[in-house]
Amino acid sequence: MIEVICNDRLGKKIRVKCDPDDTIGDFKKLVAAQIGTAPEKIILKKWYSTFKDHITLADYEIGNGSSIEMYYA
Amino acid sequence: MEESLSIEETNKLRISLGLKPLKVDTDPKPPGDLTGEETFDNSVEGHERRAVANWRKNEAEVNKEAARKAKLDGIKKARDVAKRFAQLEGKGLGDADENEEDTTTWVRKMKKRQKKLVEKMGKEREEELERAAREHKEYTAVDLAGVRVGHDLDELHEGEEGTILTLKDSTIEENEEDGDELISTDLVESERLHERLELKKKKPVYNAYDEDVPGEKGILAQYDEEIDGKKKRRFVLDGSGNSADINAHREDVVEKLKAKSIIINLDMPKPEVTSDYALNMKIRKPKKKKSKSTRKKSENDDDSFLAPPPAENEDQKSDSNSMEVDSVPAIAPKPKRTYKETSFVDDEDLQDSLALQRRVALKKRKMPKPDVFARQLLEESAAAVAEASTEAETAMVEDDEEGPGLIIDETTEFVANLRAVVIPERKKVKPEATRVTSMAEDMEEDQETEDMEVDQDDQSGHKSITPVPLAKPSSGAQEFSSTGLEEESTMNRGVGATLAMLHQRGLIKRDEEAENKVQLLRDRENFNVQKRLREVEAEEKAKSQRLRDRQSGKFDRMSAREREEHARWENKQRDLQEARDLQQRFKDYRPDVNLEYKDEFGRDMTAKEAFKNLSHQFHGKGSGKAKTEKRLKKIEDEKKREATSSLNTNSASAVQAAAKKGKQAGVRLM
């Protein structure tokens, strides 16, 4: 289990407990459950690269304590 | 600030979303895992775990290795230390020896050792000798038994001192076949040479006149060698160093001899071929031409035909009646004389007599005893010293009749006079100089140099130092010319002298203007020198003045201020004096002013151009582009013209240009 921090810099910063082999889509669902925004509306980014839904966290080298930028579509 | 769900909540959520629940590391491992092999966990966590485990294991290994190494190092170090101390153990130089041996024991020991050594050496030598003997077992004739020698026995006996035989150089195969063979390289060489010479002779194969023993030669015997190979003449040595079949050989020889004695030749005796030319006739060699030395010949003749007086005697005899010229031909009749000699006979006699006479004269001249001669010489030299050298020379001339004679002319006279007179004259000059310097010595201490003369005839009363050239010998000499005329100058003294002579004879006229210029230049130089001298002098004077003031105690009475004042006043006075002098001197100063202006190319500028240039410089503004270009072009043209004119004449270039215009090729021949 890892904990990933998601921050939208607008007041929402959450810690999400997840597995490294969860896909970004699953992760988004978890985030959505926590913040109350629809998962399709959430865009996760690190700098200018947008994370794609079908790729796992481990593949993006997101580990325990990593931060992800969160935007809304 | 950060919102986060608990694990349980997350798990609930995950299940609701259709995801597997989270794995938690803290979960106790199932007991089945401990016993069996760990199930391969492909999850990221598992990877990590394994990686960590692996790293730990590796770390542990490395640590263990390091520890081991450290331990080994420690052991090694300890061992080294132990070894070092072990080396240091034992007796040092300073330590006292427990069983100190005294001299006698030492000597005894040494003797024992020596004895042992001698024994050892003796044994060694014996062994060596034995070995040498074994190796050097005498190689005698017995060893040579059965060895073949590749020569005929007769050949070997030819050499008086015995020949040296060596093993023949052969291939292995040949050696296998034939065995060892001894040969003499010298003999082989000579054989080969002989063969080659034979081949060179190109003898006809068949000689009808050949004297041959029937039966000894086969048909076409010349090919025998080629067919059968060379007949090898060899013999085998037996144990005693003799030929094994020497007896056979002997018998062979004997038989041969016998056969020869028995054989009766039935052939017709060959006719003796007589040569057309006499072969062993005695030929008289033509007599060699007589040597030119007639005197010697005559002596020889005398010896041979007028035996009684020996050669030396005859010489003396001829000395005794030296002047009798006729007596010599008296001995002259010479019985054996070829016609050639007689043709010269008169001349020869004459030569003889003349030679005799000469010798006698020479002896006579040598006659005076050495002491007499020495006295004569002494007298002569004394005379030469006392009188003019010329007389002595004339005396010598009288003595020596054969000499070339001394010519006394104006030049020698002049030279003699010159030598006699110059030295005292120079001496006369010197004291004068010293006198003057001594007078001047109270004024100046260290200013005089060797080649400076001091004279005091300057109008201003100052003494002046003028450089006097060292070599001035001809000045006094001219008055002593014996003829009363001025000495004729010659051209062998340099350009200046030559020019002077030419001028004196009126062969060249002096250029007035040039003369003036030279004079001017000389004046100026002189002026400069004078000026410098004067400056030095003035300084000197001022210095001495100051010194005197100081010595007289004039300054002691003055205060510092007064002293300063005084110095200033003096300086002023001196400057004034200097200025006055200068003014006086510059009265006859005629400077030769010649203004020259050069432009940036180094050309001479005319006054107009110079003014223009100056003006431009002053205003900081040059002429415009067009004008500058024009000027540059002009300069360029000028340069070109100069270059062409220096290389070839104008006319030539003009001709060339014309030829070029007319398209004619050709070269103008001068």
A43 touches chain B (CB under 8 A): no
Cα B612 to the center of its chain, rounded Å? 66
What pLDDT is recorded for position B383?
A: 66
Tell me the residues of chain B between 35 and 74 that have a Cβ less than 8 Å away from chain A. Answer: 43-45
Instruction: Please count the other Cβ atoms lying within 10 Å of the Cβ belonging to residue B173.
Output: 8
- The amino acid sitting at B510 is R
Q: Model's pTM, two decimal places? A: 0.21
A1 at the B interface (CB within 8 A)?
Answer: yes
Amino acid at B405: G
Express each pLDDT in B450-487 by its tens digit.
Answer: 444 444 444 444 444 444 444 444 444 444 545 556 55
Q: What is the pLDDT of residue B441?
A: 46
Q: Which residue did the predictor score with more confidence, B628 or B139?
A: B628
Q: Compute the average pLDDT of residues B653-662.
A: 74
- From the CA of A45, how many Å to the nearest CA of chain B? 19
Supply the mean pLDDT for chain B: 72
- Of residues B211 and B410, which shows the higher confidence score? B410
Query: What sign does the dihedral B351-B356-B358-B359 (CA atoms) show?
Result: positive
CA distance B222 to B267: 23
- Distance (Å, whole) CA B618 – CA B611: 10
* C-alpha–C-alpha distance, residues B438 and B451, integer Å: 15
To the nearest whole Å, the CA of A13 is away from the closest chain B CA by: 5
- Whole-number pLDDT of residue A6: 93
For residue B10, list chain A residues with Cβ-Cβ distance below 8 A: 17-18, 30
Neighbouring CB atoms inside 10 A of A20's CB total 21
- Average pLDDT score over residue span B538-561: 83
Whether A22 contacts chain B with CB within 8 A: yes
Instruction: Count interface pairs A-B at CB distance under 8 A.
Output: 49
| pLDDT tens readout for residues B150-206 | 777 777 766 556 778 888 888 888 888 877 888 888 888 988 999 899 888 877 777
Nearest to B44 among A5, A13, A58 (CB): A58
pLDDT digits 0-9 by tens, B279-293: 666 667 666 665 555
Using CA atoms, how far residue B264 sits from B256, B269, B461, in Å, is 14, 12, 145
How large is the average pLDDT for residues B234-240?
73
What does the buried/exposed string (b/e) look like for B38-63 if buried means 16 or more CB atoms within 10 Å of the residue's CB?
Answer: eeeeeebbeeeeeeeeeeeeeeeeee
A19 to B25: CB separation less than 8 angstroms, yes or no: no
CA gap B259, B247 in Å, rounded = 18
* Of B40 and B363, the one with more pLDDT: B363
For B553, residues 6+ apart whose C-beta sits below 8 A from its C-beta are: none
List phi, psi (to 5°) of A16.
-115, 130
- Residue of A5, A16, A17, A70 for testing the chain B interface, max B β-carbons within 10 Å: A17
